[in-house]
Amino acid sequence: MRMRRDRGGATVEFALLSPFLGSLIIGTLIYGSQLVKELELQQVVRDTASMSARGTNFNSAANQSIVSRLGQELGWPNTGGLLSTSTGVVYVSTIEYLDSTCNGVTPVCKNAGHWVFLRSVAFGNTTMRKSNFGAPPACLPSCLDSNQTDGSLNLTDSQNNPLAVVSSFTYLGTPDKTVNGFQPGQPAYLVEAAGKTGPWNGGSISYAFSLF
């Protein structure tokens, strides 16, 4: 009798403890898994921005495929690059600031005083997560410079089309030729990416960006 009671006691104790222990283990696993994916997403935007700033053309399928391979922990395809059905999206843009003189263009262009897109490429599941800055530009594809292969906008559209204006970009302040620092007319390379970082499909979507 006593033996049976002792055995039952251990079972009861385990039963009492297991919810706490189980949730601790499962919670740690979920958090760890999400953390790994967050890290991967950060790494993807960092590497993509670094390549973009060094002249890589992300309108090329081969280079898009490299980005996809970088995000394998996020469930991105190992071959063929991100698709519209994939669990990720990447926005690669080049932007510049047009000062009140439109950086010296005469007559002064309509987008003077705004950040504008010079180049923008989006690949992957663009419906999954929108860009924080309006990439790709709302005027695409009509403002795409078809004479180029890297997602460049027509210069006149960058300067005058209101749909080529970058939205809500405040990270570099208002560049001013009379103030030291980033200057009007200089290119900045902006990369945004989103991927599913939750533990299961349908889980949470994380977002990251880098500016080089």
CB of 103 to other proteins, least distance (A): 10
Which whole-number Å values give the CA distances from 122 to 135, 168, 193, in the listed order? Answer: 8, 18, 10
Residue number, 86 or 94, with CB nearest to other proteins = 94
3-state secondary structure of 11: helix
Q: Which residues bind other proteins (CB under 8 A)?
A: 2, 6, 9-10, 13-14, 16-17, 20-21, 24, 28, 31-32, 35, 38-39, 42-43, 45-46, 49-50, 53-55, 57, 104-106, 119, 145, 147-150, 152, 154-156, 171-173, 179-183, 186-188, 210-212
Residue number, 66 or 83, with CB nearest to other proteins = 66
At residue 123, φ and ψ (nearest 5 deg) are -145, 150
CB of 202 to other proteins, least distance (A): 23
Residue number, 123 or 133, with CB nearest to other proteins = 133
CB of 84 to other proteins, least distance (A): 27
Render the burial of 122-158: b for 16+ CB within 10 Å, e for the rest. bbbbbebbebbbbbbbebbeebbbeeeebbbbbeebb
CB of 82 to other proteins, least distance (A): 21
CB of 87 to other proteins, least distance (A): 20
Structure token pair of residue 210: 């880098």
Structure token pair of residue 20: 């706490």
Residue number, 61 or 155, with CB nearest to other proteins = 155
Which whole-number Å values give the CA distances from 148 to 10, 73, 92, in the listed order? Answer: 73, 33, 16
Residue number, 93 or 210, with CB nearest to other proteins = 210
Q: Give the whole-angstrom CA distance, residue 40 versus residue 97.
A: 30
